[in-house]
Amino acid sequence: MKYTSVSISRLEQIIKNTVKTIDESKQQIYDIYEQAHTELLELKEDLHTINKRITETIQGTEQLEILEKKSRRDLMEVSRNFCYYTEEDIEKAYDTAKNYQVQLALKREQEQQMIQKRKEIEKRLRHTQKILEMAQNLISHVAVAMDFLTGDLSSLGETMEDIHQKELMGIRIIRAQEEERQRIARDIHDGPAQSMSNIVLKAEICEKLIDLDMNKTKAELKELKELVRCSLREIRKIIFDLRPMSLDDLGLIPTIQRYLANYKTDTSIDVVFNYNDEIKESRGLVDVALFRIIQEALSNVKKYSKADRVIITINNDGETVTMKIKDNGVGFDVDRALKEIYLDDMRGFGLHSMKQRVELLNGFFNIKSIVDKGTEITVKIPINSRKGV
């Protein structure tokens, strides 16, 4: 009994020493987490500042482009009719045009440097975010280890579930939301915003030409009309990506068909779409879930699978909607992809997102994939209790 008592005492002392060491390590990890969190906030502020400066620089560049074009036209006018101008006028027109060209070149170089700086900040931001997530993950795991060593096993399973499913998923959802907002902002800046700037410039040109040359004015108006059409297409595409209005107006099938037509054009991937007539009835959130799953699945096909053919089948038996999405791509390790949501794999996050959408509607989600043979996603959602939701 004495030997047993001594052994237990030594074991308890070992556990206490281990807990102390782990606790000290936890504090060190927490310090790293705090430093990373502070740096992350600073980088976000830097990113906001550089984006603001880039916007201001682009506006300045656009103004300089207008002035530079005007100075070139003035120089051409002076050169063409030099006999009516003094040497001082000619020299002044030349110097003005040259000065604007130099300013414009410097402004464009400044814009490129700031864009490069933004890329570097975004890269550091992603790296810091990864460190932050890893530190938080380690802190949580250390807490679990301490709970285990100190005998608090009652909530261990629940704690592990909270760590891996709630906390990290919450972080990734917030990150995905921020990335989506940045994508929308860039889409608007690079698309409609630029087009609107060109439209204003074209309108000013038409205004100046209308009393001078009607033929040129008509040509400019034709280009202006095409710019407006392009802007409308870009705006409609952004709206469609956010929330396809055709889901409410036309229903699920026409919306999918329209999306697939654009997808085929963009990727050259052949997509076969089969469905039965009962699918045409609107089912509210079920339709939204099915459409978003198709979007996510086809996005993964484009990024990862190297497939050249996808088959989508949707059937409604009156009680359940069943959808299958099958490709002939390279396939992947499903378990590994799902685990890598805790690292930095957005495909794993996309799979979790699809699974959660289906489970929120009391449905069934399954994915099978064989390396070098392709992937098949199966979704089943009950619809009787979901009509009009």
User: What per-residue confidence (pLDDT) applies to 314?
Assistant: 94
Whether the predicted pLDDT of 168 surpasses 80: no
C-beta pairs of 125-133 under 8 Å, 24+ apart in sequence:
125/40, 125/43, 125/44, 125/47, 126/344, 128/36, 128/39, 128/40, 128/43, 129/40, 129/175, 130/344, 131/32, 131/36, 132/33, 132/36, 132/37, 132/40, 133/168, 133/171, 133/342
Q: Which residue has the higher pLDDT, 174 or 328?
A: 328
Q: What are phi and psi of 386, to 5 degrees?
A: -120, 5
How far apart, in Å, are the Cα atoms of 244 and each of 17, 285, 368? Answer: 59, 13, 29
Q: Which residue has the higher pLDDT, 337 or 64?
A: 64
Contact 386, 285 (CB under 8 A): yes
Domain parsing of the chain, residue ranges: 2-240, 244-382
Antiparallel, parallel or unpaired: β 309-316 and 270-275: parallel
C-beta neighbour count of 335 within 10 angstroms:
9
> By three-state DSSP, how is residue 368 classified?
strand
Contact 255, 246 (CB under 8 A): yes
* pLDDT-derived band at 208, boundaries 50, 70, 90: confident
Q: What CATH number matches the domain at 2-240, 1.10.287, 1.20.120, 1.10.10, 3.30.360?
A: 1.10.287
Return the residue matching tokens 């890893």. 134
Tens-digit pLDDT profile for residues 263-316: 998 888 999 999 987 666 656 788 888 998 998 899 889 888 889 999 999 998
* pLDDT-derived band at 152, boundaries 50, 70, 90: very low
**Mean pLDDT rounded to a whole number for the chain:** 77
Helix (H), strand (E) at residue 25: helix 2-80
Per-residue burial over 30-40, b if 16 or more Cβ lie within 10 Å, else e, is eeebeebeebb
Highest mean pLDDT among 263-267, 331-335, 349-353: 263-267
User: What per-residue confidence (pLDDT) applies to 160?
Assistant: 45
Whether the predicted pLDDT of 128 surpasses 50: yes
Whether the predicted pLDDT of 187 surpasses 70: no
Mean pLDDT along residues 152-156: 43
* pLDDT-derived band at 328, boundaries 50, 70, 90: very high
Residue 221 CA to residue 199 CA, distance in Å, equals 10
- Give the pTM: 0.44
Q: Which residue has the higher pLDDT, 329 or 386?
A: 329
Give the chain's largest Cα–Cα span. Answer: 120
User: What per-residue confidence (pLDDT) applies to 317?
Assistant: 85
Residue 3 CA to residue 312 CA, distance in Å, equals 69
Q: What percent of the chain has pLDDT over 70?
A: 71
Residue 251 CA to residue 287 CA, distance in Å, equals 8
CATH 3.30.565.10 fits 244-382, yes or no: yes
User: What per-residue confidence (pLDDT) applies to 13?
Assistant: 65
